[in-house]
Amino acid sequence: MPRTACRPVLIAFAIAGLTAGAARADAQSAIRPYVGASIGSFNLDSDDVDGRTATTGIVGGATFSRYVDVEGEAVFPTGSFTRTYTGVSVSFAPQGSSREEIERQGVVSQFDWDRKITSSISAVVVIHPAVTARVVPALVAGVTNQRTRTITKSTPLVIPVGVDPQHPSVVAREERHVRNMGGPTIGGQVAFLITPRLAIVPDVRYDYGSIGDEIHNTLRATVRTIWKF
């Protein structure tokens, strides 16, 4: 992962470490690491594409006190998010023309968007009550970074009479962008303890990535299998 992509996660781990360190001062049990795997769904709401796909993931963390866990998670959506629409991409009508003339002299193109989130990496603090029963609810807060790859295509379908098909504004185009997107994460979970070491944990998290003018928010729901050492 590029250095810029790591910064939000490293910051979250630092904050989580400070929180866990304070909690550990009152800890009544030793630190207990845990690992796990998950399956779930990934819902994307963005300016360009929306949709849902399945995910697989891995989890690793540690219980630092009766009330605080520090956790890292990597989720991998299995599909892409796509959108296709048609419209006027450019018009050769002179300035001041009517709407009808602008449309008549416009190039009608098909636009295809394809966004793939190759990974979603989170660092969070999990706050829960003392484990005295087999069902343990918890709050989750931290940050998430998503590595995205977006492909946009523009294909002319209708070219007005008299317009050169090889004009730079008319020819088919394809653009590719790779970016890191993400922001604060908040959510909740409920752990069902099968044994003192094995738990099944439904988990729901919302990632707010609309920092600035661009919308990129995700709602993630997973079911995890966790093993504590």
Give the pLDDT confidence of 17-71 residue by residue, as tens digits. Answer: 544 454 444 444 579 999 999 999 999 999 989 999 999 999 999 999 999 999 9
Residues of the chain with pLDDT > 90: what percent? 81
Q: Decide if 206 contacts 139 (C-beta within 8 A).
A: no
Q: How far is CA 178 from CA 16, 83, 135, 205, in A?
A: 28, 18, 41, 24
d(CA 1, CA 13): 16
Residues of the chain with pLDDT > 70: what percent? 87
Top-confidence residue, 125 or 210: 125
Q: For residues 37, 73, 190 and 55, what is the CA-based torsion angle, rounded to 10 degrees?
A: -60
Mean pLDDT, all residues of the chain: 89
Q: What domains can be seen in the chain, in order of their start residue? A: 3-228 (2.40.160.20)
Q: How far is it between the farthest Cα atoms of the chain?
A: 81
- What local confidence, expressed as pLDDT, does residue 62 receive? 97
- What local confidence, expressed as pLDDT, does residue 213 receive? 77
Compute the half-sphere exposure of residue 191: CA atoms within 13 Å on the CB side of its CA.
26
pTM as predicted: 0.81
Give the pLDDT confidence of 59-108 residue by residue, as tens digits. Answer: 999 999 999 999 999 999 999 999 999 999 999 999 999 999 999 999 99
Q: What does the block give as tokens for 96?
A: 């001041």
Give the pLDDT confidence of 146-158 residue by residue, as tens digits. Answer: 999 999 999 999 9
